[in-house]
Amino acid sequence: MIKSKKNTHHPYAKLFEYVFQKSEMVEEFIKNFFPLSISKNLKFSTLKPQSVSYLSPELSRLYSDIVYTCDYGEDEEEVLITLLFEHKSYLSQNPHLQLLSYMLKIWEQQRDNSEVITPVIPVVLYHGENKWKERNFTDMFTTVIGEDLIPYIPNFDLHLVDLNQESDEKLKSLEKRFLTNSLLTFKYHKNGAYIRRHFSFLVEIDNDIYQQTMLVFLIKNYDISKNEVEVLLEDASEESKLKIMNAIDERYFEGEKKGIQKGIQKGRHNEKVQTTKKMVAKELPISLIVEIQNVTEEFVKGVIAGTITEIE
């Protein structure tokens, strides 16, 4: 599993990383979206997540990455499967050049660690609005390349999964419902009407943790209120509706509890500030104020200097 050391702010990148940190989801994805010539030779029992990231700062703005190793073929040669999530709404101008940099970093690290250099299968999961233009590496050159120069130019392919080109029926045919719902959410990320219209389907997941993950993601990123959830669940079964509303209630209850606790802490802080100000005005020694108020000397000095004030 790769969890990038970078700080990924894009919400869909975070969901992507969460989904594909699960080996069962990766296996299901590969079986349904990889060429059969490759998937049939992968030994899924050996599928293992890796805990390193190879993305440069430039690439991290375009992609989130997940890396797995897996044995391949009769000789059980190890290969790296890199799942890259193109989470921008625009297309990368030179994806092969960017990927070549990424792959080179992988091979350099393997070399530096005295590891076996392994083949890398770069996979791009794209959900942008524009149609992805499939190009070869040599297409990035603006001049005509003669046949005699071709051998000196690295050329490789990437495996593209463009969700815009995948039918909803295919996505709904997957065995893992959480993977189905996540891919549909990626596909229709700009279509709030679709998300609301299919809300009950998107949140109906057997696994409670996956269901709550999707619930929280949709509520937060599509600004769906608790009252709206009840309306959007009209088509859901009573059992499913009850389960989902209970999960929603827990989420809002936790929020309320945190709010109450925050209010209590704020009140206590303001009371300490006010009392400290009065003690300072009466010229009590700082050491005495610290003892009476059970605060630090830095707190008292901060109140005196005006750097520690009441919270609005």
Any idea which of 12-26, 180-194, 205-219, 272-286 has the lowest mean pLDDT? 272-286
CA distance 282 to 215: 55
The answer to whether residue 178 scores a pLDDT higher than 50 is yes
Element (H, E) at 69: strand 63-72
Tally of CB atoms within 10 A around 137: 18
pLDDT digits (tens, 9 = 90+) for 37-58: 999 999 999 999 987 777 777 7
Identify which has the larger pLDDT, 221 or 90. Answer: 221
The winner for highest mean pLDDT among 64-78, 100-114, 178-192 is 178-192
Amino acid present at 6: K
CA distance 159 to 132: 12
**Mean pLDDT over the full length of the chain:** 83
Token pair of 29 as six digits: 């994805």
The answer to whether residue 312 scores a pLDDT higher than 50 is yes
CA distance 54 to 28: 24
Any idea which of 5-19, 117-131, 173-187 has the lowest mean pLDDT? 5-19
Confidence of residue 22 (pLDDT cuts 50, 70, 90): very high
- The pLDDT value recorded for residue 185 is 96
Any idea which of 121-125, 130-134, 165-169 has the lowest mean pLDDT? 130-134
Identify which has the larger pLDDT, 260 or 226. Answer: 226
CA distance 262 to 311: 11
pLDDT digits (tens, 9 = 90+) for 195-223: 999 999 999 998 888 988 899 899 989 98
Reduced to 3 states, what is the DSSP secondary structure of residue 138? Answer: helix
The residues spanned by each domain of the chain are: 11-167+182-188, 250-305
Strands 159-162 and 120-126, by their bridges, are: parallel
- The pLDDT value recorded for residue 4 is 39
Residue 153: closest CA among 109, 92, 96, 95: 96
- The Cβ-side half-sphere exposure at 208, using a 13 Å CA radius, reads 6
Inter-residue long-range contacts of 187-195, CB under 8 Å, 24+ positions, other chains counted:
187/127, 187/163, 189/12, 189/127, 190/89, 190/129, 192/222, 195/222
Q: What predicted TM-score, i.e. pTM, was given to this entire model?
A: 0.74
pLDDT digits (tens, 9 = 90+) for 232-272: 988 777 887 888 888 777 665 555 445 545 665 677 788 88
Give the mean model confidence (pLDDT) for residues 137-163.
85
